[in-house]
């Protein structure tokens, strides 16, 4: 019963906060976006995401949670411009997204580093695409390697680095070409708990320092609450936005996870997700 | 303060990563992935990390079989366990080899073979790699050429030798074309599969950074395909000598294959064995050379 009231309080708060006029302009606008896949060998279209509307403001850190297979990665691909929506529209700075660009950087769960390039050369990759002169490329790559705490590892190949270090390189690579938006698809999911926590902290530090707009997909509720200023919860497939929660702590000092509000947020999202996860599992059973 | 956390974090991770990274600090060529038995002997001899004693032991163990083989080859004919006429003792063969070397016979045949196999092999590299890249990358090219390729791929090169001789005569051209044909397949097929099996996530990642098709090909597809292409090249290197010897046995007036065949016909048995040993050495040398080039091109390779 007490939980119920806590939830109620949180909800009222988020409504109140969402109602306030926000100073920052909208960076990413997602308007009634749907994505339907044509499955080979089947005439039944496959709806991955449906009628998603969401605004991400400039400099915001938004986390996105949802049951597996609900269309999170699909949504990220759409924002990245790697695929186009079958309905609705996506805007960046008010103009429709038309293909990928260096104004958005992606960090994948599986790092996606080029194995034939050293850490430094990997970070330079996007700068080459941007036609930055060689000397400046080197300098900038070194700078970002330092930023993610990997100075001294510039000449290592990806297979000579641990998982956490690889993801640091991948983050540095995306930061190096200085995109406004960082799209992260479960970037820490493959790491052990300790490495994940230290990378979470660093990501927050980098975000505060660089003012990027970050969309961060995770299936960890803790991670979503810890990192996000807002948490968007998606429904099971076809993915829609079920609820967007504002996360606000009085202070981020100390152990945030021990804060009672942390637990409240966590529980609230867990409740929202529970039914969706059950629905997703049911779906998988009936399809399989 | 923030920087401090970064550094410690990095250090922690570095520490945790070290055991994993340690093997790669050993000379790269030592990666136990190379299935090449022929070259293993040399690689083991060059290993650095193992203690001196165990290294020595390995060298002895590895050369033991060879020494034993040489010893048996020397002794068995001498004691009459095998017919010394058909299998002369090793020392006689080495003497024959040395004599042919001094007489200039061996260098002449060696050169003839080398030029033919290198020409055919080189031609195959120059033509099959671009073709393979085109097939692997452009769907229409693949669709167009697939049926023809499928047909020829299942036609043995050896079966086509008479055709080559018919068209190009008994001279150098038919032999080079023959070697080229045999070498082209492993290179072509490996290049195609190298291009087709590039990790899709890498392509996605590069596309997300705004790379167009040309740059994507140049910066991602090509480097990713290099190891697979090299596997094909190394296979082709072995083929180039293998099939050439066959061609030289069928119809030639020079070359190691001719030398072996001729020596057998005129019953110069030690000369025949000397020719065979030379071919083995050539094959080994070729493979070593290609391996070292390959290593230079793919230092990053893990498995
Ligand atoms: N290119 C595609 N073609 C067909 N179906 C796809 C494609 N990409 C994703 N899907 C399907 O869309 C659904 C959502 O996928 P995804 O966005 O990867 O989910 P999530 O990232 O939330 O786990 C899944 O059922 C997946 O199988
Ligand atoms: Mg996903």
Each as own residue / partner, the long-range contacts of residues B42-48 (CB below 8 Å, 24 or more positions apart, any chain) are B42/B288
Same domain, A125 and A249: no
Number of domains observed in the structure of chain A: 2
Segment B172-177 mean pLDDT = 94
Examine residue A19 and state whether it is found in any structural domain, yes or no.
no
Q: Return the pLDDT at A256.
A: 84
Helix (H, G, I), strand (E, B) or coil at B301: coil
pLDDT at B6 exceeding the cut of 60: no
Tell me which residue range forms the domain holding A119: 111-178
What tens digit of pLDDT does each residue of B26-83 get? Answer: 333 333 333 343 334 344 444 455 678 888 888 888 889 889 999 999 999 999 999 9
Q: Name which of A272, A203, A207, A217 is nearest A244 in CA terms.
A: A272
Helix (H, G, I), strand (E, B) or coil at A232: strand
Low-confidence ranges of chain A (pLDDT < 50): 1-3, 5-6, 11-20
Domains in chain B, CATH or no CATH each: 97-302 (1.10.3720.10)
Same domain, A167 and A31: no
Same domain, A99 and A144: no
Same domain, A187 and A203: yes
Answer left, alpha or beta for residue B73, where phi above 0 means left and psi between -120 and 50 means alpha.
Answer: alpha
Examine residue A8 and state whether it is found in any structural domain, yes or no.
no
pLDDT at B246 exceeding the cut of 60: yes
DSSP B219: I
Same domain, A153 and A252: no
Beta carbons of B171 and B158 less than 8 angstroms apart: no
DSSP A162: -
Examine residue A144 and state whether it is found in any structural domain, yes or no.
yes
| Cα B285 to Cα B302: distance, rounded to the nearest angstrom | 25
Same domain, A137 and A93: no
CA of A179: which chain B residue's CA is closest? B209
**In the beta sheet, which residues pair with residue A231?**
A63, A245
Give all strands (DSSP E) within chain A, no chain letters: 26-37, 46-57, 61-65, 87-92, 95-96, 104-107, 181-185, 213-217, 230-234, 241-246
| Cα A200 to Cα A216: distance, rounded to the nearest angstrom | 11
Select from A159, A178, A197 the last residue of a domain.
A178
Q: Name which of A230, A226, A224 is nearest A252 in CA terms.
A: A226
Examine residue A11 and state whether it is found in any structural domain, yes or no.
no
DSSP A257: G
| Cα A44 to Cα B192: distance, rounded to the nearest angstrom | 33
Name the residue among A112, A115, A129 with its Cβ closest to that of B300.
A115
Beta carbons of A134 and A86 less than 8 angstroms apart: no
CATH number at residue A240: 3.40.50.300
Same domain, A93 and A217: yes
Select from A178, A203, A223 the last residue of a domain.
A178
Q: Return the pLDDT at B166.
A: 94
Q: How far is CA B273 from CA A107, A176, B100, B279, in A?
A: 61, 63, 12, 10
CA A79 / ligand 1 centre spacing (Å): 15
Examine residue A94 and state whether it is found in any structural domain, yes or no.
yes
Q: Return the pLDDT at A88.
A: 96
Segment B222-242 mean pLDDT = 93
Q: ipTM of the assembly?
A: 0.88
Does A101 sit within 8 Å of B223, measured CB to CB?
no
B149-177 residues labelled b (16+ CB within 10 A) or e (exposed):
beeeeeeebeebbeebbeeeeeeeebbbb
Does the reported pTM lie above 0.90? no
Q: Name the residue at shortest CA distance from atom 18 of ligand 1.
A: A73
Tokens standing for A259? 């804060």
Q: Return the pLDDT at B39.
A: 39
Q: How many CB atoms lie within 10 A of CB B68?
A: 10
Examine residue A201 and state whether it is found in any structural domain, yes or no.
yes
| Cα A119 to Cα A111: distance, rounded to the nearest angstrom | 12
Q: Return the pLDDT at B49.
A: 55
Task: Report A:92-151 residues touching B (Cβ under 8 A).
Answer: 99-102, 104-106, 108, 110, 112, 114-117, 125-126, 128-129, 147-151
pLDDT confidence bin for B203, thresholds 50/70/90: very high
Q: Which residues line ligand 1 (CB under 6 A)?
A: A 37, 39, 46, 48, 66, 68-74, 237
Name the residue among B5, B215, B302 with its Cβ closest to that of A201.
B5
Beta carbons of B295 and B43 less than 8 angstroms apart: no
| Cα B236 to Cα B182: distance, rounded to the nearest angstrom | 7
Beta-carbon contacts of A69 under 8 Å, excluding residues fewer than 6 positions away, are A236, A237, A280, A283, A284
Helices (runs of H) and strands (runs of E) counted in chain B = 13, 0
Q: What is the DSSP string of A137-170?
A: HHHHHHHHHHHTT-TT-TT--GGGS-HHHHHHHH
Select from A178, A210, A236 the last residue of a domain.
A178
Beta-carbon contacts of A198 under 8 Å, excluding residues fewer than 6 positions away, are A164, B5, B9, B12, B13
Q: How far is CA B146 from CA A39, B132, B141, B189, B221, in A?
A: 26, 11, 8, 11, 21
Does A112 sit within 8 Å of B220, measured CB to CB?
no
Same domain, A282 and A199: yes
The 3-state secondary structure of B111-154 reads: HHHHHHHHHHHHHHHHHHHHHHHHHHHCHHHHHHHHHHHHHHHC
What tens digit of pLDDT does each residue of B117-171 get? Answer: 999 999 999 999 999 999 999 989 888 988 888 888 888 888 999 999 999 998 8
Examine residue A6 and state whether it is found in any structural domain, yes or no.
no
Beta-carbon contacts of A62 under 8 Å, excluding residues fewer than 6 positions away, are A56, A214, A215, A216, A228, A229, A230, A231, A232
Ligand 1 mutation target, pool A40, A46, A52, most atoms within 8 A of CB = A46
Examine residue A1 and state whether it is found in any structural domain, yes or no.
no
| Cα A73 to Cα A112: distance, rounded to the nearest angstrom | 15
The tokens 């999170």 sit on which residue?
A: A72
Percent of chain B residues past pLDDT 90, beyond the cut: 64
Beta-carbon contacts of A110 under 8 Å, excluding residues fewer than 6 positions away, are A190, B201
The 3-state secondary structure of B155-199 reads: CCHHHHHHHHHHHHCCCHHHHHHHHHHHHHHHHHHHHHHHHHCCC
CA B40 to chain centre: 13
Same domain, A96 and A123: no
Name the residue among B13, B202, B215 with its Cβ closest to that of A164.
B13
Same domain, A136 and A206: no
Helix (H, G, I), strand (E, B) or coil at A61: strand
Does A160 sit within 8 Å of B206, measured CB to CB?
no
**In the beta sheet, which residues pair with residue A49?**
A35, A239
Q: Phi and psi dihedrals of B115, rounded to 5?
A: -60, -45
**How far is the alpha carbon of B79 from chain A, nearest alpha carbon, in Å?**
56
Q: Return the pLDDT at B48.
A: 52
| Cα A92 to Cα A97: distance, rounded to the nearest angstrom | 6
Same domain, A71 and A209: yes
**How far is the alpha carbon of A105 from chain B, nearest alpha carbon, in Å?**
7
Helix (H, G, I), strand (E, B) or coil at A246: strand
Q: Return the pLDDT at B41.
A: 39
Same domain, A257 and A135: no
3-state helix, strand, coil in chain B (%, to 5): 80, 0, 20
| Cα A199 to Cα B9: distance, rounded to the nearest angstrom | 9
pLDDT at B259 exceeding the cut of 50: yes
Q: Return the pLDDT at B149.
A: 87
Chain A residues with CB-CB distance to B207 below 8 A: 82, 100
Answer left, alpha or beta for residue A99, where phi above 0 means left and psi between -120 and 50 means alpha.
Answer: left
Q: Return the pLDDT at A40.
A: 85
CA B303 to chain centre: 18
């Amino acid at each position: 019963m007490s939980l119920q009231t806590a939830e109620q309080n949180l909800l009222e708060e988020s409504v109140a906060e969402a109602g306030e006029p926000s100073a920052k302009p909208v960076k990413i606008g997602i308007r009634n976006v749907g994505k339907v896949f044509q499955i080979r060998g089947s005439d039944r279209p496959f709806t991955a995401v449906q009628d998603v509307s969401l605004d991400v403001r400039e400099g915001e850190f938004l986390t996105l949670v949802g049951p597996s297979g609900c269309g999170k990665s699909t949504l990220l691909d759409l924002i990245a411009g790697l695929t186009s929506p079958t309905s609705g529209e996506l805007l960046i700075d008010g103009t429709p997204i038309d293909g990928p660009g260096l104004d958005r950087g992606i960090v994948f769960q599986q790092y996606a580093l080029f194995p034939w390039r050293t850490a430094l050369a990997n970070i330079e990759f996007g700068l080459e695409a941007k036609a930055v002169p060689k000397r400046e490329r080197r300098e900038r790559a070194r700078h970002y390697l330092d930023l993610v705490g990997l100075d001294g590892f510039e000449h290592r190949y990806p297979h000579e680095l641990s998982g956490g270090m690889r993801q640091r390189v991948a983050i540095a690579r995306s930061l190096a070409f200085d995109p406004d938006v960082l799209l992260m698809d479960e970037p820490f999911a493959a790491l052990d708990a300790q490495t994940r926590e230290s990378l979470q902290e660093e990501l927050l530090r980098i975000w505060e320092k660089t003012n990027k707009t970050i969309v961060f997909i995770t299936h960890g509720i803790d991670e979503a609450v810890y990192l996000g200023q807002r948490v968007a919860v998606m429904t099971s497939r076809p993915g829609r936005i079920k609820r967007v929660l504002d996360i606000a702590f009085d202070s981020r000092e100390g152990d945030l996870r021990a804060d009672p509000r942390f637990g409240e947020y966590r529980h609230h999202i867990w409740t929202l997700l529970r039914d969706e996860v059950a629905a997703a599992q049911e779906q998988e059973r009936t399809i399989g | 303060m923030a920087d401090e956390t970064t550094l410690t974090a990095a250090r922690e991770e570095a520490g945790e990563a070290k055991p994993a990274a340690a093997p790669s600090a050993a000379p790269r060529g030592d990666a136990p992935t190379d299935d090449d038995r022929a070259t293993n002997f040399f690689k083991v001899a060059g290993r650095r990390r193992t203690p001196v004693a165990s290294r020595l032991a390995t060298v002895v163990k590895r050369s033991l079989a060879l020494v034993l083989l040489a010893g048996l080859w020397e002794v068995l004919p001498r004691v009459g366990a095998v017919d010394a006429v058909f299998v002369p003792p090793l020392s006689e063969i080495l003497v024959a080899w040395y004599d042919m070397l001094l007489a200039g016979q061996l260098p002449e045949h060696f050169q003839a073979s080398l030029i033919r196999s290198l020409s055919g092999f080189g031609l195959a590299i120059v033509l099959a790699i671009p073709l393979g890249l085109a097939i692997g990358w452009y769907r229409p090219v693949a669709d167009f050429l697939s049926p023809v390729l499928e047909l020829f791929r299942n036609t043995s090169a050896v079966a086509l030798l008479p055709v080559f001789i018919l068209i190009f005569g008994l001279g150098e051209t038919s032999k080079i074309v023959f070697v080229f044909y045999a070498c082209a397949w492993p290179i072509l097929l490996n290049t195609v599969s190298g291009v087709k099996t590039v990790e899709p996530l890498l392509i996605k990642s590069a596309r997300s950074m705004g790379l167009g098709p040309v740059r994507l090909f140049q910066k991602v597809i090509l480097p990713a395909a290099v190891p697979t292409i090299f596997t094909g090249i190394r296979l082709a290197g072995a083929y180039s000598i293998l099939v050439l010897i066959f061609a030289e046995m069928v119809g030639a007036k020079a070359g190691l294959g001719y030398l072996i065949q001729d020596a057998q016909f005129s019953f110069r048995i030690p000369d025949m064995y000397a020719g065979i040993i030379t071919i083995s050495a050539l094959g080994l040398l070729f493979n070593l050379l290609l391996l070292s080039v390959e290593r230079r091109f793919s230092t990053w390779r893990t498995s």
